[in-house]
Amino acid sequence: MAYAYLFKYIIIGDTGVGKSCLLLQFTDKRFQPVHDLTIGVEFGARMITIDGKQIKLQIWDTAGQESFRSITRSYYRGAAGALLVYDITRRDTFNHLTTWLEDARQHSNSNMVIMLIGNKSDLESRREVKKEEGEAFAREHGLIFMETSAKTASNVEEAFINTAKEIYEKIQEGVFDINNEANGIKIGPQHAASNATLAGNQGGQQAGGGCC
């Protein structure tokens, strides 16, 4: 399908915070409570519309386990956006954000938009990290912030789309050099076209799920 832009996203964060579930919810609109441990990268893709332009999100879901961390670092290359995910019911996943952020900053381009996500917001009774703490961390480090639930789909669309909006705004402002592929943005064949307004989304494509 023709698109105006392609944005590469990377999803990072500790193991078990729900990275793959977020991807599956966003691309397939379904929740899978048990998910195999991610090794390497699982890819997902979906078209969205921003400012009347078709934008393809190419999403790289990475392994969160410490033992695969060195490999994950190599996937930051050319990412325009990152979803940094923690689990609101596990304080340790929040405590590790600084390390993830350092990694992301060090191995990605400086303009990469980072969305901080506190996932599993449906598990309010088990909450260990207050929403205010997430907001404060995001504010301090210049990130966007949302709490989501991959299970109920709460804010999942918004998390992906708002990140894209931020990237799109940076393009409009000239912050991103769209001719430099290292920025994780590719211009598609449909770049010139389109008049419709506002963000929305259109049916998607697959994500790494079911089969191998």
- Summarize as ranges the residues that interact with other proteins (CB under 8 A): 6, 36-37, 39-43, 45, 56, 58, 70-71, 73-74, 77-78, 107, 181-182, 186, 188-189, 205-206, 208, 211-212
Q: Give the residue with the Cβ less far from other proteins, 39 or 175.
A: 39
Q: Give the residue with the Cβ less far from other proteins, 106 or 125.
A: 106
The tokens for 191 are 């770049």
Give least dist CB 117 to other proteins, A. 23
Q: What are the Cα distances from residue 26, in Å, to 13, 22, 71, 157, 158? A: 17, 6, 24, 6, 10
Q: Give the residue with the Cβ less far from other proteins, 123 or 178.
A: 178
Give least dist CB 154 to other proteins, A. 26
Give least dist CB 104 to other proteins, A. 14
Q: Give the residue with the Cβ less far from other proteins, 37 or 196.
A: 37
Q: Which of 44, 24, 58 is nearest to 163 (CA)?
A: 58
Give least dist CB 24 to other proteins, A. 12
Residue whose tokens read 């008049």: 195
Contacts of 19 (CB under 8 A, 6+ apart): 11, 12, 13, 38, 61, 62, 64, 83, 85
The tokens for 6 are 């392609």
Q: Give the residue with the Cβ less far from other proteins, 39 or 193.
A: 39
**Does the CA dihedral 85-87-90-94 come out positive or negative?**
positive
